[in-house]
Structures are given as structure tokens and as C-alpha cells.
């Protein structure tokens, strides 16, 4: 059994207090629009008198484009400080006319996930799912993926990841596409590791391996560029700012 099937972090590439900020750009044909902002934050806090990680993600559309498609997305997850096992998760998102609220609680004593879900197309549902080994919520999965030891990865290798999404458990994967270099308009180059991610079809995404991520090839393992095809056009999230990184670096990629 390899280390990933045991779902134990190999390398801690982040620390409490880290903040990552991104600009979101929308493309449709020849049209490019600075459409939104994304922010990720990791911090330690107490949950039931135990110190845990609190991961938060916020995505918002730029207000002047809200009349076209309004996005107000808020994700929060709490995970074990050492193993990064998901403990609790909440999602409150509004994307156009689609609104969604999810709440999950992970019970490792009874191998259950207790869920409370609702969206504009379905009535509120209370459910209990079987907790499979190494099942993550979306937010925790992002940080867990940054703990892999990429040095032994082979090109085209699949990295399995089990996630709960919209009250269903999926066996997804990322695919390592090898080392790559991204270049800014000013000619600055950055060494990266490139991955494709299997998506689930939803209100925005088509599904399939249509999401690509370029991760910094250093100890921080920061997603520097994310590109995805959506139902109409495509979007990309471009790294803008970082605060309180675990390792020193100097990224300036918001002009890609």
C-alpha cells in the first residue's frame, strides 16, 4: 500500500496564516474579462477544545459584471492538524440563479458522514453516507494535494483522490503531466509541475479532464495558474498575492 492510500501527508508545504489570492479571468472567443477574485486561507483554531486547521475559500465576481453572472462562493472546512482528515465542512454558494448549501460532519468512530444539503433545484435533504477510507471534502483536498512528494511522480501517472461533492462520494484523480514553464508578459519564467484534474459535471463545468493546474516546483507547491473549460468559454485563475508562506519566494504572475 503506498503512502497516498494511507492518506497521510508527506510534506507540509503550508503553515497557519497562509493566504493566497487570485484574479479570475473569463474568456469567450476573443473576449477576455477580469471577472472575479479568489482567496484561500489556512489557519489554526480550536474546534471542540482541539486545535485543528480551518481552511477557507472565497470566490466573488467583480461587481460591475454581476449583472451578467453573479458569483458569491464561500467554502469552509476543518481538518485534523496532523493527518488532514476532514472533520467538518460547509459550502454556501450562489452562482447565477443556482444557490447551494452543504454541511458535512465526519464521524470516524462509526465510519459515517452526516450531511445536510440543499440547492435551488432540490429540497433540503438530511442523509448519512458511508465514510470510505481517505475521503476528503473539496477544501481539505486542495491542501492535502499540496503535501504529496512529487519527486517520484512519473509523467501521465494518476493520483487518486476520494471526495464528497454535493452529497455524493466520487473516486476522482489528478494526472501528472510533467514539468512545465509558464511565462509572464514581461518574460519572467517559472518552473512548474503541470496536472490535469478530473471534474464532475455541474452548473458551470462540463466534466472530464478539463481542468489544468500549474503548481510551483518548489517547497511551497503553490497553484500558480488554473485553467478550466466551462459550459460557455473558459476561465483561468492567475496567482496574484501570497502572505505568510512557509518558505520564502517571489512570485509575480498576475500579468499572465
pLDDT digits (tens, 9 = 90+) for 201-254: 654 445 556 789 999 999 999 999 999 877 666 789 999 999 999 998 877 665
Q: Round to whole Å and give the CA distance between 214 and 36.
A: 19
Q: Is residue 14 part of a domain?
A: no
**In the prediction, which pLDDT does 33 show?**
81
Q: Is residue 67 part of a domain?
A: yes
Which residue, 115, 133, 137, is CA-closest to 124? 115
3-state secondary structure of 145: helix
**In the prediction, which pLDDT does 155 show?**
94
Q: Is residue 252 part of a domain?
A: no
**In the prediction, which pLDDT does 12 show?**
85
Q: What percent of the chain has pLDDT over 90?
A: 64
Q: Is residue 5 part of a domain?
A: no
Q: Is residue 66 part of a domain?
A: yes
DSSP 8-class letter at 64: G
Q: What mean pLDDT do residues 63-73 have? A: 87
Q: Is residue 225 part of a domain?
A: yes
* Owning domain of residue 87: 19-243
Number of structural domains the chain divides into = 1
- Residue 65: phi and psi, rounded to 5, are -110, 5
Q: Is residue 9 part of a domain?
A: no
pLDDT digits (tens, 9 = 90+) for 122-139: 999 999 999 998 999 999
pLDDT digits (tens, 9 = 90+) for 17-50: 999 999 999 877 667 788 899 999 999 999 999 9
Q: Is residue 50 part of a domain?
A: yes
Amino acid at each position: 500500500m503506498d503512502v497516498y492510500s494511507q492518506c497521510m501527508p508527506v510534506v507540509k508545504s503550508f503553515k497557519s496564516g497562509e493566504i493566497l489570492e487570485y484574479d479570475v479571468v473569463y474568456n469567450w472567443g476573443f473576449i477576455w474579462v477580469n471577472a472575479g477574485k479568489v482567496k484561500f486561507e489556512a489557519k489554526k483554531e480550536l474546534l471542540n477544545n482541539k486545535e485543528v486547521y480551518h481552511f477557507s475559500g472565497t470566490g466573488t465576481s467583480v461587481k460591475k459584471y454581476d449583472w451578467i453572472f453573479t458569483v458569491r462562493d464561500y467554502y469552509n472546512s476543518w481538518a485534523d492538524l496532523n493527518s488532514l482528515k476532514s472533520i467538518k465542512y460547509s459550502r454556501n454558494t450562489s452562482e447565477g440563479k443556482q444557490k447551494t448549501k452543504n454541511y458535512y460532519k465526519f464521524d470516524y468512530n462509526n465510519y459515517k458522514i452526516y450531511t445536510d444539503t440543499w440547492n435551488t433545484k432540490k429540497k433540503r435533504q438530511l442523509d448519512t453516507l458511508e465514510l470510505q477510507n481517505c475521503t476528503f471534502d473539496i477544501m481539505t483536498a486542495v491542501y492535502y494535494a499540496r503535501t504529496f512528494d512529487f519527486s517520484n511522480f512519473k509523467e501521465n501517472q494518476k493520483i487518486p483522490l476520494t471526495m464528497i461533492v454535493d452529497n455524493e462520494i466520487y473516486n476522482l484523480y489528478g494526472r501528472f503531466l510533467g514539468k512545465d514553464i509558464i511565462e509572464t508578459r514581461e518574460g519572467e519564467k517559472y518552473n512548474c509541475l503541470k496536472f490535469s484534474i478530473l471534474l464532475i459535471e455541474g452548473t458551470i463545468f462540463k466534466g472530464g479532464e478539463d481542468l489544468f493546474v500549474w503548481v510551483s516546483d518548489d517547497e511551497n507547491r503553490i497553484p500558480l495558474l488554473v485553467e478550466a473549460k466551462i459550459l460557455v468559454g473558459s476561465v483561468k485563475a492567475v496567482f496574484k498575492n501570497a502572505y505568510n508562506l512557509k518558505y520564502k519566494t517571489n512570485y509575480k504572475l498576475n500579468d499572465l
